[in-house]
Amino acid sequence: MLESQRKVTEPEVYERLLNRLALALDAVNTANRLRNERPVELELRGLSHAEFELIRAYLARSQREMQINVLGSLQNQEAPRSAKIIWLKDQAPVKESVKVRSRQFK
C-alpha cells in the first residue's frame, strides 16, 4: 500500500496533532474516572515526521522563552536593602522620658 506523498500544510498538521492530544487526554481522563489511575506520562504512537517536528519546535520555543523570563526576572531583582540599625544604648536619653519615669515611681 502506498502512502500519499501530498505535502501537508502547517494548519493541517497542527489541527491533527491537537486532535490526537485531545483523544489521548480524554483516554487518560476516562482511566482516571473508571480505574482511579493517574499516569505520569502520556504516550502518542505513530506520530508523523511533521507532527514530531511541530512538537520539537514548540518545546524549543518554550525553553527559550523560559530562559528569557528567568534572565529577565534575575535582572529585575534588586539587592535586599539593609535596615538601619539604631542601638538604644548608643542614644542619649531624652530628658522628658526621664522625668516621666521619675514621676511614676515617686
Instruction: Parse the chain into domains and list their residue ranges.
Output: 9-74
Cell of 78: 534588586
Q: Specify the pLDDT at position 97.
A: 56
Distance between CA atoms of 51 and 25, rounded to whole angstroms? 17
Could you read off the pLDDT of 35-94 as tens digits, one per residue? 988 888 888 888 899 999 998 998 999 888 888 877 777 666 665 667 777 777 777 766
- 58 with 35: CB under 8 angstroms? no
Best CA proximity match to 9, nearest among 17, 56, 22: 17
Quick one: pLDDT band at residue 18, thresholds 50, 70, 90?
A: very high
pTM over the 0.75 mark: no
